């Protein structure tokens, strides 16, 4: 990799225009609110009604690291907790206890009861057990006669490792914590040596989570089989080989055939994989926005590494939801966190155009629509607004029967894929061709118009932006398409770029994450024989597909160097990674590295890691916030374990700066400067560095944050050590420009298109929400009794008349304190103190879903310590949010909200 030309890099930026997300987390003015029962309140959205009364599942953590204390001590602590809970009359249900990687329990309890549990002696933390959606599995019928992973393996050097270095992963045990593995698939025959099904087929079906465990981790979902195939599937008859085709597998099934799972089930699987002797574990899953190294799964991940297991985890697929969007086990300090890079080729089904060249167009078939019939020929048309520049093509109804018997071309944008397909179907169309409004193909994991009412009954396929424009240009002269049942291998327009869905770091404590990248966009691998199209193979996308590439790479390195310590594996991989360039629209800007906060050290390079004799420690530099320092000094130790003198040129290689807001990041090109050993590393000449054989050398690195970068931006880049004879080395660095504690933690909420000051005091019995600071002509009152409510739509429900708060966490929160105040503002009781909270996915209720929440709830059931009823009187609720890395003694680092006063009526 050569040093980039700075002038070219700067001029290239003039065309950058990428904006992610739709809105920021900025303060807003509360508009006039609708009125409920005489109160100046907001009408309660139906999604919030009664939500506060739903018991939740929680982790309860006790003091003591289970890797450092005896099993007897853990057992005694847990027995003591149970006894105290009984003595105080606390109502909860214990679901599972843990003692290998976590000291504590998962329990089901109401918000009020978990508040009491959090105050018991010996309890050091309570954390919500997050629901983890099974990663979306969208199968396109893109099977080949001789399936293989050639393209992706060539990107990482796995092909050379197998064919020239003789590495296959033989003798290495790799655990896959996922949806299971198809035990009948020939790719894994005789190689699944351990495993367990923690849940059963029906777990999560119809929203019911009743585990029925057994010893058979067979996969009826597909995701786990695909992941395992990437790690090390092997079918000689079909020439299919994963990265490490001779590893042994442990299969740990934590999802049913459909639906979701929970963090506590995942923690069970993590503990069992350690007990089963796995050397590497892959976890292609996680809880987005739970962006802390101190959460239960992240802690457990660190302890796995401490016990000698290399844990590799996906970075997440929440890139569209902005910065600080990672979460789950991937956040562990010692865990290898893997971002996604798009594959260089895509093998697609095809249709043929009737133009003179008989052009073959590759496509994905949308989930929820029927497969195209082979041999079907249709004329292609478009709507009256259709063009390559229109933003809302197909969003309005077409003239009745205007598309009868035709395939209609529709550009992506504005409305959902389902609306576009449904409008075309109502106008008589026989097929729909969706084309992208950005570079490349519509990601098949997010593109499909899922069937609703009415269902889509015509074929819906998606093509690239380039192919869509080409078809559009032919329509005026008359053109038709034929679904010929063929296949086509196409160059991926986004090849070698970071996948747009890959989640952004840093961590909530400004630690650099993710760590490394691997192919994850459009990956061909194994699939259960009983599902999909029955071929046993499928194309999927996600950081779920990137993580097993690295897990397989780790297995190859462990085969070659079996004494490599688990704690050292991440650095070995990161040191020799190769950088990914920024994709501006459809142009890959070579020489301009993509955000460090999205790609980490860059693409894993197995051959370079295998042949490298010089390590750089630490393997990454987390520089914190610039408000507290003018420059940041770091020491990197280069250790040469080889017999040859190694010479490098050290450069500061800046990456794109991540500016904008949390929910709407934008690119910026203001860079940090650097010296190495007192010399400028920004100059084209760099700094000469020589490491003698079998010796160590210190590099004194001084980084000065970019003064011209926007406030609250994340900057970053690389200490880049270029060698003429050996693998280049990279050490990524990342920092925050400005005062980190100036980021807003308690955000506002958009309800029915209007922004309201939040938190909001909720009143189910009055069917109302009261925005922060809103003056109320009448003081709300609460009886803590069940009351029947008749809503404006005529529906009825029975709710508890109790106060609770609806809170939007605009950024992660280090410590949240929830207090009950008396009429004079004095603290009656601390109801809850909770550490390491995740941020919410969005601040707009209309964008919320089961995998993207907009709010969290804080409840009070009218009880005081000991379970006594609070006496009648006037109270209020207060929330104090200590910000990440905040100083509790500095008032500026804590946001405080106090609700309107309310009456307790007895």
Going by C-beta distance under 8 Å and a sequence separation of 6 or more, which residues neighbour residue 414?
391, 392, 395
CATH number of 69's domain:
3.30.70.80
Contact criterion met (CB below 8 Å) for 603 and 578 = yes
Q: What is the pLDDT of residues 602-618, one digit of tens each?
A: 999 999 999 999 999 99
What's the pLDDT at 12?
35
Rounded to the nearest 5 percent, the helix, strand and coil shares of the chain are 20, 35, 45
- Tell me the pairing of strands 665-668 and 657-660: antiparallel
- pLDDT tens-digit series, residues 765-816: 888 899 999 999 899 999 999 888 887 777 888 888 999 999 999 999 999 9
Tell me what pLDDT residue 11 has. Answer: 30
Strand partners, 898: 878
Question: What domain range includes position 79?
Answer: 54-133
Identify the pLDDT of residue 43: 73
739 domain residue, yes or no: no
Q: Where residue 162 sits, what CATH number does that domain have?
A: 3.40.50.200
Whole-number pLDDT of residue 113? 87
Q: Does residue 629 belong to any structural domain of this protein?
A: no
d(CA 664, CA 677): 38
Residues 33/42, Cβ–Cβ less than 8 Å = yes
- 163: tokens are 């064919």
Any domain includes 895 = no
With cut-offs at 50, 70 and 90, classify the pLDDT of residue 539.
confident
Confidence of residue 21 (pLDDT cuts 50, 70, 90): very low
329 lies in the same domain as 355: no
Per-residue pLDDT tens digits for 411-421: 999 888 889 99
| pLDDT score of 49 | 66
Q: Name, of 29-33, 120-124, 695-699, the range with top average pLDDT.
A: 695-699
Evaluate whether residue 886 is within a structural domain. no
pLDDT at 577: 97
pLDDT of residue 446: 45
- Best-predicted range by mean pLDDT among 86-90, 343-347, 694-698, 788-792? 694-698
**Segment 526-535 mean pLDDT:** 82
Do residues 769 and 763 lie in contact, with contact meaning Cβ atoms separated by under 8 Å? yes
Same domain, 424 and 480: yes
List the catalytic residues.
178, 223, 544
Query: What digits encode the pLDDT tens for the residues 641-657?
Result: 999 999 999 999 999 99
Q: Is the pLDDT of residue 445 over 80?
A: no
**Residue 780 in domain:** no
The pLDDT value recorded for residue 866 is 74
Q: Which of 146, 212, 211, 221 is nearest to 182 (CA)?
A: 221
Does 31 score more than 70 pLDDT? no
pLDDT band at 599, cuts 50/70/90? very high
Whether residues 188 and 316 fall in one domain: yes
Six-digit token string for 481: 């398409």
Report the distance separating Cα 14 and Cα 80, nearest Å: 64
365 and 279 housed in the same domain: no
Q: What is the pLDDT of residues 657-702, one digit of tens each?
A: 999 999 999 999 999 999 999 999 998 999 999 999 999 999 999 9
pLDDT band at 630 (very low <50, low <70, confident <90, very high): confident
- pLDDT value for 167: 98
Q: For residues 131 and 348, what is the distance between their CA atoms, to the nearest angstrom?
A: 34
| pLDDT at residue number 540 | 86
**Strand, helix or coil at 463?**
strand
| Mean confidence (pLDDT) of the chain | 89
Helix (H) or strand (E) holding 545: helix 543-560
Examine the domain organization and report whether 387 and 334 are in the same domain.
Answer: no
Provide the terminal-to-terminal Cα distance of the chain, rounded to the nearest Å. 74
More confident site: 726 or 40: 726
Together in a domain, 365 and 293: no
Q: Please give the Cα distance from 154 to 523 (Å, whole number).
A: 12
Look at residue 528 and tell me if it is in a domain.
Answer: yes
Distance CA 520, CA 468 (A): 24
Q: pLDDT value at position 450?
A: 55
Q: Do both 546 and 478 map to the same domain?
A: no
Judge whether 430 lies within some domain. Answer: yes
pLDDT digits (tens, 9 = 90+) for 142-161: 444 344 566 788 899 999 99
- pLDDT for 617: 98
Query: Is residue 245 predicted with pLDDT exceeding 50?
Result: yes
Nearest CA to 427 out of 381, 473, 469, 472 is that of 381
User: How many whole angstroms separate alpha carbon 748 and alpha carbon 773?
Assistant: 12
pLDDT mean over 632-643:
97
Q: Cα 217–220–225 angle (5° rounding)?
A: 70
When mean pLDDT is compared across 11-20, 222-231, 387-396, 404-413, the lowest value belongs to 11-20
CB 795 within 8 A of CB 79: no
**pLDDT score recorded for residue 54:** 64
Length of the chain: 906
Instruction: Please determine, for residue 1, whether its predicted confidence score (pLDDT) is greater than 50.
Output: no
Whether residues 216 and 248 fall in one domain:
yes
Q: Which pTM value belongs to this model?
A: 0.88
CATH number assigned to the domain comprising residue 433? 3.50.30.30
pLDDT in tens, 194-235: 999 999 999 988 888 999 999 999 999 999 999 999 999 999
Average pLDDT of the segment spanning 863-877: 91
When divided into structural domains, the chain yields a total of 3
What distance in Å separates the CA atoms of residue 179 and residue 222, rounded to the nearest whole number? Answer: 7
Same domain as 173, residue 286: yes
Whether 849 shows a pLDDT value over 60: the answer reads: yes
Q: Which of 566, 584, 606 is the last residue of a domain?
A: 606
pLDDT at residue number 533: 66
The residue from 101, 133, 165 where one domain ends is 133
Per-residue pLDDT at 139 exceeds 70: no
Residues 351, 216 within the same domain:
no
Q: Is residue 310 part of a domain?
A: yes
Do 309 and 188 lie in one domain? The reply is yes
Q: Residue 848 — pLDDT band, cuts 50, 70, 90?
A: confident
How does pLDDT run across 875-903, given as a tens digit for each residue? 999 999 999 999 999 999 999 999 999 99
- More confident site: 493 or 552: 552
99 and 236 belong to one structural domain: no
Listed residues 563, 584, 606: the one ending a domain: 606
């Amino acid at each position: 990799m050569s040093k980039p030309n700075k002038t070219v890099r700067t001029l290239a930026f003039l065309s950058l225009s990428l904006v992610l997300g739709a809105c920021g987390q900025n303060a807003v003015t509360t508009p006039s609110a609708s009125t409920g029962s005489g109160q100046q309140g907001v009408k309660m959205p139906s999604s919030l009604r009664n939500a506060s009364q739903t018991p939740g599942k929680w982790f309860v953590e006790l003091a003591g690291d289970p890797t450092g204390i005896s099993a007897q001590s853990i057992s005694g602590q847990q027995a003591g907790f149970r006894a105290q809970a009984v003595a105080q009359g606390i109502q909860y249900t214990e679901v599972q206890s843990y003692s290998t990687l976590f000291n504590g329990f998962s329990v089901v309890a109401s918000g009020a009861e978990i508040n009491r549990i959090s105050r018991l002696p010996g309890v050091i933390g309570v954390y919500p057990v997050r629901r983890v959606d099974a990663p979306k599995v969208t199968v396109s019928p893109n099977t080949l006669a001789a399936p293989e992973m050639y393209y992706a393996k060539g990107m990482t050097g796995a092909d050379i490792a197998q064919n020239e270095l003789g590495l296959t992963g033989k003798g290495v045990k790799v655990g896959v914590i996922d949806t299971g593995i198809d035990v009948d698939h020939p790719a894994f025959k005789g190689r699944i040596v351990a495993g367990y099904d923690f849940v059963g087929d029906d777990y999560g079906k119809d929203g019911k989570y009743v585990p029925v465990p057994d010893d058979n981790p067979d996969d009826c979902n597909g995701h786990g089989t695909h992941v395992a195939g990437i790690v090390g599937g092997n079918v000689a008859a079909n020439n299919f080989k994963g990265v490490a085709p001779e590893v042994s597998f442990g299969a740990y099934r934590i999802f049913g055939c459909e639906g979701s799972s929970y963090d506590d089930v995942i923690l069970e699987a993590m503990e069992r994989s350690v007990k089963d002797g796995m050397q590497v574990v892959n976890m292609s899953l996680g809880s987005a926005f739970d962006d802390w190294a101190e959460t239960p799964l992240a802690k457990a991940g660190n302890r796995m590494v401490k016990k000698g297991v290399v844990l590799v985890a996906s970075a997440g697929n929440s890139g569209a939801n902005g910065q600080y969007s990672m979460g789950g086990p991937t956040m562990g300090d010692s865990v290898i966190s893997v971002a996604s890079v798009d594959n260089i080729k895509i093998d697609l089904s095809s249709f043929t155009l009737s133009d003179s060249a008989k052009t073959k167009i590759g496509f994905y078939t949308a989930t929820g629509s029927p497969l195209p019939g082979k041999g079907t020929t249709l004329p292609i048309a478009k709507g009256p607004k259709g063009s390559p520049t229109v933003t809302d093509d197909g969003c309005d109804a077409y003239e009745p029967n205007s598309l009868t018997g035709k395939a209609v071309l529709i550009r992506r944008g504005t409305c959902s894929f389902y609306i576009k397909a449904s409008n075309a179907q109502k106008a008589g169309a026989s097929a729909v061709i969706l084309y992208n409004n950005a570079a490349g193909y519509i990601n098949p994991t997010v593109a499909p118009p899922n069937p609703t009412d009415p269902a889509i009954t015509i074929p819906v396929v998606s093509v690239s932006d380039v192919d869509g424009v080409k078809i559009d240009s032919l329509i005026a002269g008359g053109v038709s398409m034929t679904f010929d049942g063929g296949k086509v291998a196409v160059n991926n327009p986004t090849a070698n770029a970071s996948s747009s869905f890959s989640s952004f770091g840093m961590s909530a404590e400004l630690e650099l994450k993710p760590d490394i990248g691997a192919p994850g966009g459009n990956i061909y691998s194994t699939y259960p024989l009983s599902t999909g199209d029955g071929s046993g193979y499928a194309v999927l996308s996600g950081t779920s597909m990137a993580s097993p590439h690295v897990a397989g790479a780790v297995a190859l390195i462990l085969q070659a160097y079996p004494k490599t310590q688990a704690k050292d594996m991440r650095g070995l991989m990161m040191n020799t990674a190769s950088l990914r360039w920024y994709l501006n629209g459809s142009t890959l800007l070579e020489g301009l590295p993509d955000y460090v906060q999205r790609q980490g050290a860059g693409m894993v390079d197995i051959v370079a890691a295998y042949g490298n004799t010089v390590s750089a420690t630490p393997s990454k530099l987390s520089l914190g916030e610039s408000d507290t320092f003018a420059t940041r000094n770091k020491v990197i130790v280069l250790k040469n374990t080889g017999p040859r003198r190694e010479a490098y040129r050290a450069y500061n290689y800046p990456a794109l700066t991540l500016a904008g807001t949390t929910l709407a990041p934008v690119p910026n090109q203001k860079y940090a400067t650097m010296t190495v050993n007192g010399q400028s590393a920004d100059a084209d000449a760099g700094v000469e560095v020589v490491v003698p054989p079998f010796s160590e050398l210190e590099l004194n690195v001084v980084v000065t944050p970019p003064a011209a970068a926007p406030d609250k931006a994340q900057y970053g880049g690389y200490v880049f050590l270029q060698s003429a004879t050996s693998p280049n080395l990279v050490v990524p660095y990342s920092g925050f420009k400005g005062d980190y504690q100036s980021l807003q933690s308690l955000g506002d909420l958009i309800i029915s298109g209007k922004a309201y000051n939040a938190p909001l005091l909720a009143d189910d019995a009055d069917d109302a929400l009261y925005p922060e600071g809103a003056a109320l002509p009448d003081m709300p009152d609460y009886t803590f009794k069940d009351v029947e409510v008749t809503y404006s739509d005529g529906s009825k429900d029975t709710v508890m008349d109790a106060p609770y708060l609806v809170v939007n966490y605009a950024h992660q929160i280090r410590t949240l304190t929830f207090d009950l105040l008396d009429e004079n503002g004095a603290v009656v009781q601390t109801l809850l103190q909770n550490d390491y909270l995740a941020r919410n996915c969005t601040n707009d209720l209309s964008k919320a879903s089961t995998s993207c929440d907009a709010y969290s709830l804080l409840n009070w059931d009218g009880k005081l310590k000991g379970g006594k009823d609070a006496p009648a009187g006037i109270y209020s609720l207060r929330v104090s949010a200590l910000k990440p890395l905040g100083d509790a003694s500095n008032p500026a680092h804590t946001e405080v909200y106090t609700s309107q006063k309310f009456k307790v009526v007895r």
